[in-house]
Amino acid sequence: MIYRLLALVWFLQVLLSDTYAQTSGLPSISFRDFEIPNSPIIDSTSHAVIIIEKGKSDIQVDEAERELRVIHRYGVRIKILDKEGFKEANYVIPLYKIGNKFETVDEIHGYTHYIDGKIHTVKMDKGAIFHEKINEFVNLSKFTLPNIKENCIIDIEYEIKSPDIFNYRTWEYQDDIPKLYSEYTAIIPALYNYNVTLLGPYKLTDQKSKLLKDYFLLNGRRQDCSQLTYIMADIPAFHEESYMLAPKNYKSAINFELMQYYSTSGARQNLTKEWKDVDRELLTNRLFGGQINRENNFKHILSRIYTESDSDENKARKIYEYIKSQIRWNKVYGKYSQFGVKDALERRNGNVGDINLALISACAAAGIEVYPVLVSTRENGLPKTIHPVISDFNYLVAQVRVNGKNYFLDASEENLPFGLLPLRCINGSGRIIYSKKSSEWIRLENEIDAATHFDITGKIDETGQFKGKLRVIYKGLDALNHRNYIQKFSSLDSYIEERMNNSANMQIEDGNIYQLDSLDNDLIESYEISMDFTNSIRGKYFSFNPILMNRVTKNPFNLEERNYPVDLGSKKKETYSIAIHLPPDFDMEHQPENIALALPEAAARYTFRSQYVEGNLVLKQDLNLNKAIYEVEEYFHLKEFYSRIIQHQKVDFTFKKNKL
C-alpha cells in the first residue's frame, strides 16, 4: 500500500509541476454591504449574518518540501448585527495531523469595516494571531478582529496547506448564523475520480462546471482539469438542540471522496476497497492486529487475575478490572495503539487503542471469545456504511461473548461498569472485526437503561417546617455520569458539603453515598433534609408543589422544525415517589389531576398518581422514554409531550385547615 501511495505522489508531482494558482477572494467592501437585507433567514434570533463566503481547493506542489499539498483558500464577510454577535470576531482555525505532518495555515488576514460618514477599515495586526497545541493531533490558530461594534462588518481570509492529498475538505454550507451566499470551488485533475455528495436538507442554488484546458504539463503535453463550483444562497442557521449527534451529520454540505485515479499509463487505480481488504490490513497492522496477538504479555500473569474455577464471564470481568487498574487513559482517542500494549503496561498509561487492545489481547490469552469493534464517536460523526472509509473511525472498543451473551467493553473509563459503553461511543453502528470471517456492522447500544429514582419521605408541622429523608438511586449512564461528577471533588465529604451549600430550597443536614466503587451496582445517595414552607401558609390555606427535585421547567425541544433525530444515547427512566405526613385537620382543597400521557406505540409515557388519606399524601410520578432515538417525524409529538408535563408539574397541592 505504501509503495502505491508513493507512486501516486510522484505521479502527481509530475502531473502538476506546471500548474498555476487561482485565488477566489472577497469582493470590495461597499455601502450596500451595510444594509440589512430583508430575508426570511434573518430573524430576531440572528445576531450576525454571513454576507458572502467563498472557498477554493486545488492540489499544488510544495517546492520546499518536494511534496504535494491540497491548498484550501477561504474568505468570509460577516455583518455583526448586535452585541451578541461580537463572538463572531473571535475566530479559531483547527489544523489536523495527517500521517506524520500537520496542516499549516498561511496568509491570515482580518479586517473590520464600519461607517462614520464614509467606510473605515481597520486591519488586524499580525500580533493578534496565536497558535495553540491542543494535543499531538490538533493545533489551533486563534485571533480576534479589532474595533468590533454593532453593525460593523468583518472580513477574514486565510489559506490552509494540507498533506491530505486524497480528500478535499467537506464544505459546510450551514453554520450557527444564517448565510446569504456560500460558494465553493474545487479544481480536480482529469485523472481523478471523486465521489461528490450533497448532504443535508437544502439543495444547491446553482452548480457550474468548467474545463480548464492545458492546466498542467505532463510528459511534454498539456493536460486538463475540471473546475467545479457549488453555490447555495439564503441558508438558514443551523440550531443545535439537546440530544443530538454531531451537527456535521445533519448540516447541508458538499463532501468529496477520492474513489480512483488513472496512472500515466492509463491504468485505473481504485482507492475504494472492500471490507475484506480493510480487515486484512487491520489484522496485519503492527499497531492493531499486531497488538492483539501479544498474548504472551498476559499468559504468565493470568493466574494472578482469576482462578481456574471462575466462569468465563467472571474471568472477563476480572481481566476488565485488571486492565483498567494497570493502564490509565491519557485522554487520547484512537483505533490504533499509540505506544504498544507492552509499553503501555510499563508506562501505566496509554490511549484508547492501547487500553482496549490490551483488554482484547488479555481476554484472548484467557481463551475468551473477544473481538475489536471500530467506533466513530458522537462528536466525530456517523461512519459511512456504503463502502469502507477507515478514517471515519477514531475509537476502539471490545466485544466479549460469554455464556451466550454479548458485552461491549471500554476499559478507558475508570467508573464504567462491565458491559456498558460511555455516551461518546453510542453513535449508530460500529464495525466488528473478526479474525476468520468478514467483518460486519453491529449496532452500538447499551442493554441497561439510564435511570434515576427519587424517594422522599417526611413530615410537615403546623408552622410549615418539613423534616424528612431523601434517597436517590442512579442506574446505567446516569450512574456513570454521577460517579464521574463526584470524582471531581477532593473527597466524598467535599461533595456532600457542596450538596448542602447548593441545594436552593432544600437544606441537607447529613448524608452518605453507597456503592460508589461498586460499579456493577446502583449508586445510592441518602440525606437527612429539611425545608421551610412558612411562606406557603396563607391563613387557613397551605399550598406547595411536591415535585421537589428535577421538576421540568423548560422544554428541551423548542424548534419549530427539527431536521435531525432526537438521540438520547439510551432509553431513559425517571421515577419520583413521595410520602409526606401533614398536620391534623388539613383537608385537600385542590390537587393536580391524576394523568397518564403516552406517545404513539408507547414511545414515551408519563404518569402521575396521588392520594391524600388521613393526613398522608402519597405521590408517584414516572417518566419513561422508551426509545433511545426518536425520528424527525416524532419530534412534534415529543415536544408537545414535554409541554404537557411542564404544565402539569406547575400545579400545586392546596390544603385547607378546618380549625384555626
Task: Please tell me the predicted confidence (pLDDT) of residue 16.
Answer: 40
Q: Assess whether 525 and 632 both reside in one domain.
A: yes
Within 13 Å and on the Cβ side, how many CA atoms surround 638?
27
Residue 50 lies in a domain: yes
Residue 79 lies in a domain: yes
The neighbour count for residue 595, using CB atoms within 10 Å, is: 12
Q: Assess whether 38 and 136 both reside in one domain.
A: yes
SS3 labels along 75-140:
EEEEEECCHHHHHHHEEEEEEEEECCEECEEEEEEEEEEEECCCEEEEECCHHHCEEEECCCCEEE
Give the single-character DSSP code of 46. Answer: -
Residue 270 lies in a domain: no
* 3 state DSSP class of 601: helix
Task: Please tell me the predicted confidence (pLDDT) of residue 18.
Answer: 36
Q: What is the pLDDT of residues 285-333, one digit of tens each?
A: 999 999 998 888 898 899 999 999 999 999 999 999 999 999 999 999 9
Q: What is the CATH classification number for the domain harbouring 42?
A: 2.60.40.3140
Q: Last residue of some domain: 443, 464, 486?
A: 443
Mean pLDDT for the chain? Answer: 89
Q: What is the pLDDT of residues 632-651, one digit of tens each?
A: 999 999 999 999 999 999 99
Tell which residue, 265, 628, 270, 300, has the closest CA to residue 477: 628
Q: Assess whether 308 and 373 both reside in one domain.
A: yes
Residue 576 lies in a domain: yes
Q: Assess whether 50 and 114 both reside in one domain.
A: yes
Transcribe 314-352 into DSSP letters: HHHHHHHHHHHHH-EE-S---SS-SS-HHHHHHHTEE-H
Task: Please tell me the predicted confidence (pLDDT) of residue 2.
Answer: 40
User: Among the listed ranges 21-25, 289-293, 466-470, 569-573, which one has the minimum average pLDDT value?
Assistant: 21-25
Q: Last residue of some domain: 238, 267, 300?
A: 238
Q: Can you tell me the distance from the alpha carbon of 608 to that of 651, in angstroms, rounded to the nearest whole number?
A: 12
Q: Assess whether 477 and 504 both reside in one domain.
A: yes
- Which grid cell sits at 156? 477574514
The neighbour count for residue 436, using CB atoms within 10 Å, is: 4
Query: Is the pLDDT reported for residue 46 higher than 90?
Result: yes
- How large is the average pLDDT for residues 246-262? 87
In terms of residue numbers, what domain contains 380? 275-443
Q: Assess whether 482 and 353 both reside in one domain.
A: no
Task: Please tell me the predicted confidence (pLDDT) of residue 359.
Answer: 97
Q: What is the pLDDT of residues 406-433, one digit of tens each?
A: 999 999 999 999 999 999 999 999 999 9
pLDDT band at 22 (very low <50, low <70, confident <90, very high): very low
Q: Assess whether 67 and 156 both reside in one domain.
A: yes
Helix 312-326 with 352-365: angle, nearest 10 deg? 150
Query: Is the pLDDT reported for residue 4 higher than 50?
Result: no
Q: Assess whether 108 and 225 both reside in one domain.
A: yes
Q: Assess whether 49 and 153 both reside in one domain.
A: yes
Tell which residue, 458, 624, 637, has the closest CA to residue 548: 458
Cβ-in-10-Å burial (0-12, 13-18, 19+) of 563 comes to middle
Task: Please tell me the predicted confidence (pLDDT) of residue 383.
Answer: 93
- Which grid cell sits at 331? 485522554
Task: Please tell me the predicted confidence (pLDDT) of residue 436.
Answer: 87
Residue length of the chain: 660
Q: What is the CATH classification number for the domain harbouring 510?
A: 2.60.120.1130
Q: Assess whether 54 and 119 both reside in one domain.
A: yes
Q: Assess whether 27 and 159 both reside in one domain.
A: yes
Q: How, if at all, do strands 572-581 and 450-460 pair?
A: parallel
Residue 326 lies in a domain: yes
Residue 244 lies in a domain: no
CA dihedral sign, ordered 124, 126, 128, 129: positive
Q: Last residue of some domain: 238, 260, 287?
A: 238
Q: What is the CATH classification number for the domain harbouring 423?
A: 3.10.620.30
Contact assessment for residue 626 and residue 635, using Cβ atoms and an 8 Å cutoff: no
Q: Which residues pair with 154 in a beta bridge?
A: 78, 112
Task: Please tell me the predicted confidence (pLDDT) of residue 1.
Answer: 42
Dmax (CA) of the chain: 108
Q: Can you tell me the distance from the alpha carbon of 454 to that of 546, in angstroms, rounded to the nearest whole number?
A: 12
- How large is the average pLDDT for residues 86-94? 95
Task: Please tell me the predicted confidence (pLDDT) of residue 414.
Answer: 93
Within 13 Å and on the Cβ side, how many CA atoms surround 315?
23
Residue 22 lies in a domain: yes
Task: Please tell me the predicted confidence (pLDDT) of residue 519.
Answer: 95
Task: Please tell me the predicted confidence (pLDDT) of residue 8.
Answer: 43
Q: Total structural domains in the chain?
A: 3
Q: Assess whether 195 and 122 both reside in one domain.
A: yes
Q: What is the pLDDT of residues 488-524, one digit of tens each?
A: 999 988 998 888 777 667 888 888 999 999 999 999 9
The neighbour count for residue 472, using CB atoms within 10 Å, is: 20
pLDDT band at 353 (very low <50, low <70, confident <90, very high): very high
- How large is the average pLDDT for residues 145-169? 90
Task: Please tell me the predicted confidence (pLDDT) of residue 250.
Answer: 93
Q: What percentage of the chain reaches a pLDDT higher than 90?
A: 68
Query: Is the pLDDT reported for residue 595 higher than 90?
Result: yes
Residue 115 lies in a domain: yes
